[in-house]
Structure 1
Amino acid sequence: MRQQMALGSFIFGLSRDFAYSGLVRKTDGGWVDLNILISKPKSSQVGQALETLSITGKSMYAVAMERLDELRALQALRVPLPLVDGIGRNWGLWRITSVTETQSEIIDDGTAMLNAWAIELTEFIHA
């Protein structure tokens, strides 16, 4: 089965009618600027922050609502999950920071015909 990404047991991809269309990866260099009263700020290294990922997409019909409920169930476990991309690269452990959905074109039974969604992940490092 082809997939874009797997987060624990959850699979992103067309095969599950839940493909993402955007991924933003943020890596912090660990630099801060210390303001100095009589000169330019001084740079200081305080250590690299955790990486974050924002995965976004749009899905249709009740399938999208079901998949988002699956992600919320994983989030409720409150454990870090392995993240593996479609070419087999292991991205390490990640925690689900937030799951956001925007339902539109809702029909009479409450089903959203279009569902825009965003999943925010934060890298997990063992203590």
Structure 2
Amino acid sequence: MHHLVIGEFVFAVGNKTPISKFERTSPGAFSEVGLIDDARSERTGRPLETIDISGKWLQYGAHESVEAIRNLIEEPQQVSDGQGRNLGRWTIQQLKEGKSSLVHDGRAMVTDITLQLKEYRG
């Protein structure tokens, strides 16, 4: 089983690329408009949704997985969840990689990743 698929990249425990946190933000279609001594709601359209993903990978080869994600940044990617639901197309806005517990040759025993996706409407 897998947690999430972005393009060709699979987040899964079996691949040693599990997700520890998934947050999806769906903003509302109304904005507050300030008026003198008052305010009102105005329909401005629905902004793009965002997904924030974080993971902690405990493996020597984590850098290869990070590079595979990095290669997906240039184009919108199809995203689906572990239950097979199609979440649509998303762009990778940011990939943040942190390495810790380095061993004698500089390889990391722990790689933390955070990934920020933004909904793509093309």
The total of aligned residue pairs comes to 122
Q: TM-score, normalised by structure 2?
A: 0.94
What CA deviation, in whole Å up to 9, does each residue of 1:61-113 have, x standing for no partner? 322221111100111xx211111111110011111111101111112211111
**Structure 1 segments unaligned to the other structure (5+ residues):** none
- The SS at the match of 1:62 is coil
> Contact 1:30–1:45 at 8 Å: present in 2 too?
yes
Q: For residue 102 of structure 1, what is the amino acid of its counterpart?
A: G
What displacement does 1:43 show? Answer: 1.2
Matched residue, 1:62: 60
Q: Which amino acid aligns with 2:69?
A: L
Quick check: 1:17–1:63 contact (8 Å CA) kept in 2? Answer: no
Q: Partners of 1:29 and 1:49 in 2: how far apart? A: 7
Identity %: 29
Gaps spanning 5+ residues in structure 2: where?
Answer: none
**What is the Cα deviation at residue 10 of structure 1?**
0.3
Matched, 1:112 2:108: yes
